[in-house]
A and B are shown apart, each in its own frame.
Chain A
Amino acid sequence: MSVNPIDLATEQLAPQHEIALPAGRPRGAFRAGAAVFVQNRLAVAGLAVVVLLVLFCFGGPLVYHTNQVDVNLANATLPPGAGHPLGTDETGYDELGRLMVGGRASLTIGFAAALIATLVGTLWGAVSGFFGGLVDAVMMRVVDALLAIPILFLLLYLVTIVRPSVTVMIVVLGLTAWLIPARLVRGESLTLRMREYVQAVRMMGGSSWRSVLRHILPNVAGTVIVNATFQVADAILLIAYLGYLGLGISPPATDWGGMLSKGTNFIFPNYWWLIYPAGILIVLVVVAVNFVGDGLRDAVEVRLRRR
C-alpha cells in the first residue's frame, strides 16, 4: 500500500519505438495527442475494457434485475445454473447482479477519489512551487510528514470515526492520495520556472500569472493526467485491501474488493464463482487503467514524438 511502483517505473520509460505522426498541417495539441493514443493498441484495448466495465456496472442492472437488498438464506451459495448465471453468495444474493452493484461502488470510488486527490494535489503543488521560499519549505515538509505516516494508520483512523459508505471512502482515499501528485506538480513547476521560454515571457513583461497559466500548467497537465489514471487503479486496489481488513463498505452495499475477500473464505469448499469473477474483474480493471495511463503518457509527452 505504498507508492505504486509501476507508475514510478513507467514515468521514466524511454520511447520504445518512435511514433510517426501522419504528415499534414500542424494540428492542435489535443488532436495530435489523440492520434498518438489511438496508435497504441494496448491503450485502446484498455480504454475499451474500462468503457465496457462501466456499461456493465451502470447499464447492466437496467436489463438484469436482481434483489440486492433482502437476504435469502434458502438460496445461499447456489452453483451457477438456471436463474443465477453466476450462482449466489453466502447470503443468497445473485452473484452476477452483485458484481454490477459492487463494480459501481469500486469504479465510482476509484474515479472520484483520483479526481479529488488530483485536484487537491495539483493545487497544493502549484502553490508551493509557484511561491517558493518559506511557503514552499513549509508546504513540502507537511507533505513529507504525511508521507511518513503509514497510510494504513490514516485510513484506519478515518474509518474508525466515520461509518464507511461510498462517499466516505471517496473522501478518505482522496485525502490520503493527494501527496504524490502534489510532489510531482511541485517538482515540475520548479524546473519549468527556470526554462528559457518561461523566462522569455517574464523578460517581455508578461505577468507571473500568465507564465503559470499559459506555460507551466499546460506542461504539468500531462504528468497530472497520467498520474490520475494510476491513482484510479491504486484506489480500486486500496478499497479491496480495506474490504479484506473488514473496513470496507457496510452491507448490503459492497465493492469488488469486499466481494473477493468474502469469497476467499470459500476457497476450501471450492465455491469458485464467489472467488474468480470478482478477482478477475479487479485485475482486469487495474491492468486496463494502467494501459490507458501508459498510452496517455505517450500522447502528452510531446518531446518523444517525431516531428
Chain B
Amino acid sequence: MAGYLLRRVAQALAVVLFVTVIVFILLHQLPGGPARAVLGNRATPLEITQFNQDNGLDRPVPVQYLVYLRHWLTGDFGFSYKLNQPVGALLAQRLPKTLVLNALALVLTIAVAVPVGIYQAVRRNRLFDYVATTLAFICYAAPTFYLGLILVLVFAQKLNVLPPEAPQSDGVVPIFADFRGMILPIVTLALLGIAGFSRYMRSAVLDNLTQDYVRTARSKGCSSSRVLSRHVLRNALIPIATLIGLSLPALFAGALVTESIFNFPGMGLLFWQAAQTSDYPVELGVVLVTAVATVLGNLLADLSYALLDPRVRYA
C-alpha cells in the first residue's frame, strides 16, 4: 500500500509539472504578451522592452519557467498585473468562497440524488422512474445559464422571494450571514449534479440488485430494506465515489457559468476576468490549483475504492 501510494504521488507530481510546462509555454505564445496587456495598445516599443527587462520577460522561456518554479516552491505565486495584488492573496481570498459554494452544492446533490436513484432503481419503469429520468435529462441538456436565468426569473422576479445576486462580501463568514443569496446559485449547481448523480445511482443499484449476494441475503430471510441498506447501498456507492473524485476540480476551480450568472466572486470568475485582461500570473495560479485538485481527486477516488470494497487491494 505504501509503495503504491508513493508511486501514485510521484506520478501525480509529474503530471502537475507537465501541466504547468504546457500552460506556461501556451501563455508565452499569445500575441502581445503581458507587457502589451499591462501598458496598453499605445505603449512604445521602448516602454515594452523596459517592462520586459524589469520583469525578467526578456529571458529565454525555459529560464523564466525555472524562476517561476522556484518562486512557487517558496510559496510565491507571482503578482497580478491588473489587480495589483499578489496572486497568493487573491487565491486565498477566492478559494474559500468557491469551496463553500461548490461543497454545499455537492452536499445537496448527494442528499437528493442518492435516495432518488435508489428509489428509481427499486421501482423501475414506474411513473416516478420515468418522471425522474425525464427531469434528469432535461436538467442535463439545458445549458446552465438558461437554467439559472429561469430560476432568477421565477424566484427573484416573479415571486420575489430570493435575491437575484449572490453575496458580494470578501470573506466566508458574511456569506453565511446573507445566506438567502446563496440559495439560487447552490440550487443551479445542484440541479446539474443531481441529473448526473441520480442516473449513476440508479444504474449502480440496478447492477447490484441482480447479483448473487442479493439473492443469498434474501433467501436467508433478510428483509428488502435491510438488503438495500446493508448490502446494496455500500456496493452502489463505489461509482459515486468516482464521481465525487471527478467533481473535486470543480470544487476548487469554481463553476464559471454559475458564478457569472449570479456574480459570485469565486475562482471561476477570477479566472475568467484574468483571461479577459491577459493577467497571466493569475491564470497560471488558477490552472495550478485546478491541476492539483484534478490529480488529487483521481487519487482519492482510487483510494476510496479500497475503503468501500475490500476486494480491491493496491500493491
List A residues at the B interface (Cβ < 8 Å): 2-6, 8-10, 12-14, 16-17, 141-142, 144-150, 152-153, 156-157, 160-161, 233, 237, 240-241, 244-245, 257, 260-261, 264, 267-268, 279, 282-284, 286-287, 290
Contact = CB atoms under 8 A, between A and B. Distances in A.
B262 interface: no
Contacts, number: 140
Nearest to B210: A14
A145 B18 contact: yes
B26 interface: yes
Given A145-B18, A148-B290, A160-B30, A283 B138 contact: yes
Contacts of A261: 145
Contacts of B31: 161
B66 interface: no
A243 B1 CA distance: 47
Given A2-B246, A141-B15, A157-B26, A14 B141 contact: no
Interface in B193-221: 193, 195-197, 199-200, 202-204, 206-207, 209-210
B146 interface: yes
Nearest to B206: A14
Contact of A264 (B138, B146, B204): B146
A97 B253 CA distance: 39
SS of A interface (majority)? helix
A284 B200 CA distance: 22
B257 A244 contact: yes
A264 B199 contact: no
Contact of B206 (A13, A146, A240): A13
Contacts of A12: 203-204, 207, 239
B14 A150 contact: no
B308 to A, nearest CB: 15
Contacts of B271: 150, 152-153
B285 interface: no
Contacts of A156: 275
A31 B235 CA distance: 36
